[in-house]
Amino acid sequence: MNATLGSGPEPTPEPVRHEPAAPAHVPVRQRLAELRGPAVAPHPLDARALAALAANPGCERRTLLDGAGVNKAVLAQALGSPAAFGQSQFAFMRGNAFEARVKSDGGTELLRLLGVEDPSGALTPDVSAAGPEGRTARTALALREATAAKAWTLLDHPMLALEVAGTPAYLEPDAVVVHPDGHWTAVEIKSFPMLDGSADAAKVGAAARQAAVYVLALERVAAKVAGAEVGHRVLLVCPKDFSNLPTGAVVDVRKQLSVTRRQLARMRRIEDLAAALPEGTTFDPSSRSAQELAAAVESVDAAYAPECLAACELAFHCRERSREAGAVETLGRSVRGELGGLTTVEAVLDAAEGRAGDPADPTVAALRRAAALRAEALGAAAGAGV
């Protein structure tokens, strides 16, 4: 292994479906099918999307749409606000080609990056099975057997389940390695380069947030396996410098793990959100006009912030609505936090210019002081003929 990276703020694709498993959930499943359209298959949610969802737990709109398996890119298109968002086809293919290169020797190179001296003896159980539930069960069994075997084991594309807002999501990490001492390590393979042992902090951060989702899901499995322990340091594998050779770095995801755990716990249950919608609401573009879809989307509370532009397909639509409402959130979460109870740009201007607001309120006082300084600066500039 060549380096240890700290993690700043991105990721690989994996499938997730939303299918309540128990018979008691059947009505929820039907309701969610109505929301996305009875003939529409649930849009798979990958760990990157799950990490983005966890990053904005206050957005009930995204929670519901993702939980119902609505394809937000198609919905945004139907709303007339398509987002230039997501991984390009080229980047996707390059990522797949690099991952195939990393695993082309049966995983021995990958295990070497993890410090395994003789990877040729490692076990590589088959974790394929029919359907996500079958693959999840097969993965759990393979993890249990590998832990009991006390031998280096590489699971290629295992499948893990994680409950999100009351419904199971299925996640597929690039790999999981079981150490002889019962330690489990999640492996993330990315196609962005690692130059002289370091990589783009934003990309490493995003990969860390995604890996934290896998670690969380692995912990659910490990809790039922004697002697198993999930590592909070994951292996990030990237191309070395400008070559196609793989290199590895350990990334500590404890911080991302605690944030993701806390955020997912804060989400309202999808069935509660669905139950609060007006009768007949659907987000199916094939059966509703753009206006009807917009009304359906507006019926669920959103929590727009500029960060949505890099993380959610509905960002342009939500930004437009947020701007129309004059919401201060369009200026950023930090600005929103500074403005206390003033939630619209109009209210801020009224407070700053003395038309409204309690002068004893520190926020109002600060705004008036800023407005006075601005007027003074403009007056001085005008007096100087600038």
Interface residues toward ligand SF4, by CB under 6 A: 56, 59, 61-62, 302-304, 308, 312, 314-315, 318
Amino acid at 10: E
Complex with ligand SF4: residue 137 or 303, whichever CB lies closer: 303
Give me the least distance between CB of 53 and ligand SF4, in Å please.
8
Complex with ligand SF4: residue 283 or 304, whichever CB lies closer: 304
- Say how far apart CA 189 and CA 96 lie, in whole Å: 9
- Say how far apart CA 216 and CA 258 lie, in whole Å: 9
Give me the least distance between CB of 302 and ligand SF4, in Å please.
4
User: The tokens of 252 are what?
Assistant: 């500590």
- Strand residue runs (E) in 179-278: 183-189, 229-230, 233-239, 246-252
Give me the least distance between CB of 253 and ligand SF4, in Å please.
22
Complex with ligand SF4: residue 315 or 348, whichever CB lies closer: 315
Amino acid at 303: A
Amino acid at 147: T
Give me the least distance between CB of 311 and ligand SF4, in Å please.
7
Q: How far is CA 353 from the centre of its chain?
A: 41
Complex with ligand SF4: residue 63 or 191, whichever CB lies closer: 63
Complex with ligand SF4: residue 66 or 172, whichever CB lies closer: 66
Give me the least distance between CB of 118 and ligand SF4, in Å please.
47
- Say how far apart CA 49 and CA 43 lie, in whole Å: 11
- Say how far apart CA 117 and CA 138 lie, in whole Å: 28
In 16-88, which residue ranges form alpha helices assigned H by DSSP? 26-36, 47-55, 60-67, 72-78
Give me the least distance between CB of 312 and ligand SF4, in Å please.
3
Complex with ligand SF4: residue 295 or 377, whichever CB lies closer: 295
Amino acid at 248: G
- Say how far apart CA 134 and CA 154 lie, in whole Å: 19
